[in-house]
Amino acid sequence: MNAVEPATKASQPLDAGGADCCDAGALASFTTAQSGPTPVDENTIAISDPSTFVSQTPDGLARLNLFVENLHCAACIGKIEGRLANVPGVVSARVNMSTRRLVITWRDGEADAGDLMRKVHALGYPVTPFDPAELAGAENREDKRLLSAMAVAGFAAANVMLLSVSVWSGHAGDMGEGTRTLFHWISALIALPAVAYAGQPFFKSALGALRGGGLNMDVPISLAVLLAAGMSVFQTAEGAEHAYFDASVSLLFFLLIGRYLDHRARARARSAATHLLALQARAATVVDDSGAQHAVRIHDIDEGMMVLVAAGERVPVDGTVIDGRSDIDTQLLSGETLPKLAAPGEKVFAGTLNLTAPLRVRTTVRADATLLSEIVKLMEMAEQGRARYVRLADRVARIYAPVVHILAAATFAGWIFFTDAGWQASLMAAIAVLIITCPCALGLAVPAVQVVASSRLLRAGVLVKAADALERLSGIDTVVFDKTGTLTLGHPELVGGEFTDAQKAMAAALARHSRHPLSRALAQTVPADGEALVADVHEEPGCGLEGVIDGKRIRLGSRAWCGGDASAVPSGTEICLAVDGAPVATFRFEDALRADSRDVIAALRKQGMRIELLSGDTEHAVARAAEELGIDTWQAQCLPAGKTARLEELAQDGRRVLMVGDGLNDAPSLVAAHVSMSPASAADVSQTAADLLFQGAALGPVLTAIRVARASTRLVKQNFALAFIYNTIAVPLAISGLATPLVAAVAMSSSSIVVTLNALRLRWTN
């Protein structure tokens, strides 16, 4: 796959190499791929009024929370914070790189929220306001709670171990009974508060499980920790030889490491999802009866309100156009590459992009027949139909927990009935079994692998959103692709036509003034410097552009509008250039395939995967793409329901399907599939539905993700095997009463270290 790797590397998101990384046009954020971080003219940016998101701090300052896109490196932080610090009235501006958020505070009245947003946007970082109360703040507190529990357990484990080592060497040497008991009491002094504090996450979860009438891994863990600590106090009071304080606190320490890693991976996945949800909740500009404009949050919008949609904004809710004519980019909704004309009386849908002119829209939110609600309904159905996948670790735990309890109980019973050791020694043996079998290694085995795998994938431009996505991805045998925006780049490119270089330069100079996809594609082909000045530019929605260059009136647009023969059937997508009313040139466009699509599909087929193509595009376009890519099974003009139906068929055949798609029309099938991926340019809803996101212009990350998923699942299984081997050696020792605190400590630490090191191997696998 050498052909694919360079392209993947070009889109590494975390390459903090300095200012250069931000100028690479290939970089795209996980939320909007089209807008590269190129500085924009401040005055031309359309921003919806953020005033509903401005809050007051206790000391009387105004505060605004923003999501920042295209954030990559130190230079980005410096640019944004430096720019805002120079604005009069601004008290502080702080970027959080991990969560990609920006908090600005300023003295109210001295600066304007919209103005500040525009300033950041002008640097090339699109921002979206959000309400921090809408995001789960609990996850962060839980994070800190686990970290401080881990710190306390670590402190206790280190100090108790220090004392225990002296006691163990004292067994070999000549430590007196008095000194030993003193050391045990000091250990108790450290261990008991530590257990009470650091053990809470486990005790709570165990209690919850018991109340619900079930068992989880935390039940044997809590039992082992509490019994070990309690029994040790009893032993110490008797002046006995062994105490298990070190085992109980180091057990907690190791388990908390695993718990913290697991929590962080989940929180990261969740924050990706909440980020996307918050992005949908933009404000809309509502015009009331008196003609005044207000910013209103999307979920506060009622049916029948009048909404203003500026050029360049996304349509916030479904509605009917009342006033204005504009081109609407519906690509994310229907998979069509070319914009449609919206005139008064026509419907527009939430999520589509208004390209050319402002529109006034009467909302129809409550109507059940809207496209979005239909898609959401389909997604819910798919969610219900999807057999709930049980994670490998949970399946293991389900068997493991009862086995551990039975073993410990059997040990106690065996010692009581078949030896004359008395209840204390019997209980100690049973506790030893609980401690030894405690799933330290198991608790670390999965989170460690998951953290290493996710960070390795993030470097390759893949964001893992669902916690069990990698496990599911490793088992797939079928890949279903969407066409537009997934196998193709989703925007047209100039492929030919009849024109001279001078005509192309003239057309590009005019095209630069428009957001229309065809204009953008044309403008990209010519470097911006040294271009002719265009005066008097005017865009006619649905027709094209008009302007004056060197005194000549030129038009760029549809054949009919440029004065050509309207009845001539165009071969594909094309626009004409007319000078003074006479057509002189034509430009032809095609939605180009991603450069490595062919290689990726060939590689997947070589791995024995079955490949299918399901597209909403026309039969002709799909057939040609399928042929070019060597895909035999394809369907054109699929509706969202048709796609999920096909996926259900495949699932009934026992196939595990990876769905790769980007459009809103793919969202239900992304939920229905065994596992799903979306490019970062996908519709918000699809990004939320997909288990993994990949960025960049290449399809190669799909292969990388499958490879890493397989490697990580293999490692998880190896780690389980290692933990199992360790148990088969240590458990007989514990049952026979030979597991002294020293044996328990050595066995526990060594098995944890082995599984962690084994997980780290993933960093170096290709």
Partner 1 sequence: MEILAYLIPVALFLGLVGLAAFLWCLKSGQFDDLDGAAARILLDDEVREDEKPS
d(CA 263, CA 136): 14
SS3 309: strand
**Least Cβ distance, residue 16 to partner 1 (angstroms):** 5
Determine, following the binding rule CB under 8 A, whether residue 144 of this chain makes contact with partner 1: yes
- CA dist 688 and 678 (Å) reads 9
Residue 271 tokens read as 């924050």
User: Binding of partner 1 at residue 179 (CB under 8 A)?
Assistant: yes
Of residues 272 and 350, the one with the C-beta less far from partner 1: 272
Of 92 and 607, CB closest to partner 1: 92
Q: Considering the complex, what minimum distance in angstroms separates the CB of residue 163 from partner 1? A: 8
Contacts for 104-109: CB closer than 8 Å, 24+ residues apart: 104/63, 104/64, 104/66, 105/57, 105/61, 105/62, 105/63, 105/64, 106/61, 106/62, 107/61, 107/62, 108/56, 108/60, 108/61, 108/62
Stretch that binds partner 1, among 10-18, 112-120, 583-591, 689-697 (CB under 8 A): 10-18
Options 8, 70, 105, 756; binder of partner 1; rule CB under 8 A: 105
Q: Which single residue is written with the structure tokens 């328990």? A: 744
Please pick, from the candidates 97, 376, 623, 743, the single residue that binds partner 1 as defined by CB under 8 A. 97
> Which of 92, 169, 293, 419 is close enough to bind partner 1 by CB under 8 A?
92
Q: Which of 96, 169, 293, 750 binds partner 1 (CB under 8 A)?
A: 96
Q: Using the rule CB under 8 A, is 94 a contact of partner 1?
A: yes
> Which residues, 490 to 549, sit near partner 1 by CB under 8 A?
none
Catalytic residue among 318, 482, 596, 599: 482
**If binding is defined by CB under 8 A, does position 395 make contact with partner 1?**
no
Largest interatomic CA distance in the chain: 111
652 counts as binding partner 1 under rule CB under 8 A: no
In the complex with partner 1, which residue's Cβ is closer, 183 or 720?
A: 183
Taking CB under 8 A as the binding criterion, the range among 31-39, 141-149, 208-216, 513-521 that sits at the site for partner 1 is 141-149
Member of 40, 122, 147, 209 binding partner 1 (CB under 8 A): 147
Provide the minimum distance between the beta carbon of 151 and partner 1 in the complex, in angstroms, as a whole number: 5
Q: Answer yes or no whether residue 607 interacts with partner 1 by CB under 8 A.
A: no
10 Å CB burial of residue 83 (0-12, 13-18, 19+) is middle
**DSSP output for 210-271:** HHTT---THHHHHHHHHHHHHHHHHHHHHT-S---HHHHHHHHHHHHHHHHHHHHHHHHHHH
* Contact between residue 748 and residue 758 where contact means Cβ atoms under 8 Å apart: no
Does 152 engage in binding with partner 1 (CB under 8 A)? yes
Work out whether 120 is an interface residue with partner 1 (CB under 8 A): no
User: Which of 2, 43, 98, 290 is close enough to bind partner 1 by CB under 8 A?
Assistant: 98
User: Could you tell me the smallest distance in angstroms from the CB atom of residue 156 to partner 1?
Assistant: 9
- Applying CB under 8 A, among 32, 52, 55, 99 the residue interacting with partner 1 is 99
Stretch that binds partner 1, among 12-20, 280-288, 424-432, 593-601 (CB under 8 A): 12-20
Any contact of residue 62 with partner 1 (CB under 8 A)? no
Q: Which stretch binds partner 1 (CB under 8 A): 95-103, 320-328, 431-439, 604-612?
A: 95-103
Indicate the DSSP class of residue 314: B
Q: Are 522 and 505 in contact (CB under 8 A)?
A: no
For residue 694, give every residue at least 6 positions away whose Cβ sits within 8 Å of its Cβ, in sequence order, or none: 461, 462, 463, 677, 678, 679, 680, 701, 702, 705
Q: Is residue 691 a contact partner of residue 269, using CB atoms and an 8 Å limit?
A: no
SS percent in the chain: helix, strand, coil, step 5 = 50, 20, 30
User: Shortest gap between Cβ of 693 and partner 1 (angstroms)?
Assistant: 18
Q: What is the rounded CA–CA span in Å between residue 72 and residue 30?
A: 11
Stretch in the footprint of partner 1 (CB under 8 A) among 142-150, 272-280, 398-406, 546-554? 142-150
Q: Which stretch binds partner 1 (CB under 8 A): 149-157, 375-383, 398-406, 484-492?
A: 149-157
- Calpha distance 479→486 (Å, rounded): 13
At 478, which helix (H) or strand (E)? strand 478-481
Minimum distance, C-beta of residue 81 to partner 1, in the bound complex (Å): 6
The residue whose two tokens read 């694919």 is 4
Only one residue has tokens 């819910």, namely: 380
Rg of the Cα atoms in the chain: 32
Q: Does residue number 87 form part of the binding site for partner 1 (CB under 8 A)? A: no
Buried residues in 131-149 as b, exposed as e (16+ CB within 10 A):
eeeebeeebeeeeeebeeb
Bin 422: left if φ > 0, else alpha if -120 < ψ < 50, else beta.
left
Among 74, 343, 390, 753, binds partner 1 (CB under 8 A): 74
How far is the C-alpha of 578 from the C-alpha of 589, rounded, in Å?
A: 18
Strands 582-593 and 488-498: antiparallel
Binding positions for partner 1, 189-228, rule CB under 8 A:
190
Q: Six-digit token pair at 512?
A: 């630069």
Q: What is the DSSP letter of 658?
A: E
- Window contacting partner 1 (CB under 8 A); options: 69-77, 355-363, 554-562, 568-576: 69-77
Contact stretch for partner 1 (CB under 8 A) within 72-80, 198-206, 255-263, 506-514: 72-80
d(CA 214, CA 110): 59
User: Where do we find the tokens 């959000």?
Assistant: 130
Distance of closest approach, residue 111 Cβ to partner 1, in angstroms: 14
Of 77 and 621, nearer to partner 1 (C-beta) is 77
Closest approach, Cβ 159 to partner 1, in A, equals: 5
Residue number with CB closer to partner 1 (80 or 584): 80
C-beta separation of 435 from 220 below 8 A: no
Using CB under 8 A as the binding rule, whether residue 14 contacts partner 1 is answered as yes
User: Do 492 and 589 contact (CB within 8 A), yes or no?
Assistant: yes
Could you say whether residue 761 binds partner 1 (CB under 8 A)? no
# residues near partner 1 by CB under 8 A? 36
- Tell me if 173 contacts partner 1 by CB under 8 A: no
- Please say which residue, 194 or 231, places its beta carbon nearer to partner 1: 194
Short-list 334, 604, 599, CA closest to 482: 334
Distance from chain centroid for Cα 173: 57
Active site annotation includes 482: yes
- Select 92 or 424, whichever has its Cβ closest to partner 1: 92
Catalytic residues: 482
**Interface contacts to partner 1, rule CB under 8 A:** 14, 16, 18, 73-75, 77-78, 81-82, 85-86, 91-99, 105, 140, 144, 147-148, 151-152, 155, 158-159, 162-163, 179, 186, 190
